[in-house]
């Protein structure tokens, strides 16, 4: 019998590997000199994640923010969570009197706040701001309402108009229509979409027209409203209004099964929100899934390529936009089975990275966490990265086509990722369906 020697998996050279001593956000930053060298004058440093709710990605992003805030004066953390809801978290990290557990439950959307690692991140921001000459702000960038309900954004706009335009009366029937499809957590999304699908067409159309009319009224009366309130209060309400308009369109698309338009419209609106933040902050740390921040079109199962947030920002900002993508090896990640997820099995085991993937290349290159600068590779290392044509997308065992040299500037590899730690206090004050699942 003929035997064949085992094939050695491709790996990067040692000089391409920049080891990370720890992911502890409080640790000395001597192993982050690569980040100091890499960022240059970039105004946005985006840090990705392969999947949501992993402990190690929370720690990595916390450590990156802490370092860039303390060493380089970054003034904002912009995260893939609801914009309107995020103002509650921002008020708390700036010294507000709210309770942290309630901020975690309601100031972040899509279950993003229900983990101890995220709570520690917010707590550090508050401590930093207590003595810092330049505070760091928290911003949500996503549509809000669990990306299924316009109600939070609409209510924020109506609360603003109660001050800016007290004689205006928004048709209560339109708010009732919005409330009929409310989603108080990620677990409520299927019910909210089903409720919206069951609404009479005339009610849906009236809500869409009412939102458009409300946006037009706000734009037309900007000077009047600013005199009665503040310019920042107006701009914040108007951004929520824009998000409500886009989310209304997104929900319509989701209900009729047009997921591709959902992804195009959502990421374009997120890009506008990031640019809105950049008008207020000199430098931003942006935290979102790899699929959002990458500088190339994204491919999801069964769809043609779509344009993510990162393509919009790269087009607008050029070298002012720096992207740190991430890869992962083994461990546990968000459960791709929606039935299991909704019933409380939030995480599932990960298989070893698929041969030929970017994750497999990185996983074979070093035993611990490490970074690599894709812009400074040797020709042989660049060829190895170029040959890795797919990347784990955090959707079970789906691997998306990728060209890492085009999509990212740097990569951080985490050899093992685990489930983040649920925060009992935050879960305890969450909506009933969240408490039941956890």
The pLDDT profile of the chain, 438 residues, written as one tens digit per residue, is 444 545 788 999 999 999 999 999 999 999 999 999 999 999 999 999 999 999 999 999 999 999 999 999 999 999 999 999 999 999 999 999 999 999 999 999 999 999 999 999 999 999 999 999 999 999 999 999 999 999 999 999 999 999 999 999 999 999 999 999 999 999 999 999 999 999 999 999 999 999 999 999 999 999 999 999 999 999 999 999 999 999 999 999 999 999 999 999 999 999 999 999 999 999 999 999 999 999 999 988 888 999 999 999 999 999 999 999 999 999 999 998 888 998 899 999 999 999 999 999 999 999 999 999 999 999 999 999 999 999 999 877 889 999 999 999 999 999 999 999 999 999 999 999 999 999
Residue 77 CB-density burial (10 A; 0-12 exposed, 13-18 middle, 19+ buried)? buried
What three-state secondary structure class fits 414?
strand
- Alpha-helical regions (H) of 198-355: 201-220, 222-228, 231-255, 259-278, 290-293, 309-317, 338-342
**First CA to last CA across the chain, in angstroms?**
54
Residue 394 domain-assigned? yes
Decide: 355 and 9 in contact? Cβ < 8 Å: yes
Please, which residues bridge with residue 90 across strands? none
φ and ψ at residue 71, rounded to 5 degrees: -100, -30
Residue 425 domain-assigned? yes
Between CA 157 and CA 151 the distance in angstroms is 10
Write the CB contacts of 17 (distance below 8 Å, at least 6 apart in sequence).
365, 366, 370, 372
Residue 7 domain-assigned? no
Residue 67 domain-assigned? yes
- pLDDT for 6 equals 56
Residue 244 domain-assigned? yes
User: Structurally, how many domains does the chain consist of?
Assistant: 1
> From the CB of residue 255, how many other CB atoms can be counted at a distance below 10 Å?
16
Q: Residue 41 carries which DSSP code? A: T
Decide: 295 and 406 in contact? Cβ < 8 Å: yes
Residue 6 domain-assigned? no
Nearest to residue 434, comparing CAs of 190, 184, 192, 195? 184
- What is the pTM assigned to this prediction? 0.96
- pLDDT for 9 equals 84
Between CA 57 and CA 420 the distance in angstroms is 9
Decide: 142 and 80 in contact? Cβ < 8 Å: yes
Nearest to residue 234, comparing CAs of 210, 247, 212, 217? 217
- pLDDT for 302 equals 85
- pLDDT for 240 equals 98
Residue 262 domain-assigned? yes
- pLDDT for 161 equals 98
φ and ψ at residue 398, rounded to 5 degrees: -80, 135
- Alpha-helical regions (H) of 350-403: 358-365, 379-387
Residue 80 domain-assigned? yes
Between CA 167 and CA 317 the distance in angstroms is 42
What residue numbers bound the domain in which 417 lies?
Answer: 14-437
Write the CB contacts of 169 (distance below 8 Å, at least 6 apart in sequence).
none
- pLDDT for 110 equals 95
């Amino acid at each position: 019998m003929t035997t064949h020697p085992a094939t050695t998996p491709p790996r990067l050279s040692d000089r391409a590997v920049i080891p990370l001593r720890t992911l502890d956000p409080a640790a000395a930053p001597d192993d982050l000199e690569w980040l100091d060298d890499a960022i240059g004058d970039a105004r946005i440093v985006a840090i990705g994640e392969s999947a949501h709710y992993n402990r190690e990605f929370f720690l990595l992003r916390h450590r990156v923010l802490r370092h860039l805030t303390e060493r380089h004066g970054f003034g904002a953390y912009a995260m893939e969570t609801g914009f309107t809801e995020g103002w509650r978290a921002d008020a708390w990290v700036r010294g507000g009197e709210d309770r942290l557990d309630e901020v975690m439950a309601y100031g972040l959307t899509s279950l993003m706040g229900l983990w101890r690692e995220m709570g520690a991140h917010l707590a550090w921001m508050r401590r930093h701001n207590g003595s810092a000459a330049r505070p760091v702000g928290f911003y949500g960038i996503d549509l809000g309402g669990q990306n299924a309900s316009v109600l939070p954004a609409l209510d924020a706009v109506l609360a603003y108009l109660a001050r800016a335009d007290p004689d205006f009366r928004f048709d209560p029937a339109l708010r009732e229509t919005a409330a009929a499809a409310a989603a108080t957590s990620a677990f409520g999304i299927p019910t909210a979409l089903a409720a919206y699908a069951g609404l009479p067409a005339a009610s849906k159309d009236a809500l869409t027209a009412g939102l458009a009319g409300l946006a037009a009224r706000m734009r037309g009366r900007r000077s009047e409203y600013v005199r009665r309130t503040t310019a920042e209060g107006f701009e914040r309400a108007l951004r929520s209004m824009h998000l409500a308009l886009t989310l209304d369109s997104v929900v319509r698309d989701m209900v009729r099964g047009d997921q591709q338009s959902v992804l195009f419209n959502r990421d374009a609106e997120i890009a506008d929100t990031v640019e809105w933040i950049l008008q207020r902050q000199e430098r931003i740390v942006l935290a979102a899934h790899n699929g959002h921040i990458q500088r190339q079109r994204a491919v999801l199962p069964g769809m043609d390529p779509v344009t993510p947030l990162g393509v919009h920002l790269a087009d607008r900002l050029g070298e002012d936009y720096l992207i740190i993508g991430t890869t992962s090896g083994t461990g546990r990640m968000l459960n791709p089975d929606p039935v299991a997820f909704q019933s409380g099995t939030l995480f599932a085991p990960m298989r070893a990275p698929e041969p030929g993937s970017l994750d497999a290349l990185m996983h074979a290159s070093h035993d611990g966490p490490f970074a690599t600068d894709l812009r400074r590779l040797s020709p042989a290392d660049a060829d190895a990265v170029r040959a890795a044509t797919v990347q784990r997308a955090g959707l079970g065992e789906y691997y998306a086509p990728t060209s890492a040299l085009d999509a990212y500037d740097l990569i951080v590899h985490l050899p093992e990722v685990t489930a983040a730690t649920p925060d009992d206090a935050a879960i305890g004050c969450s909506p009933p369906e969240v408490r039941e699942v956890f």
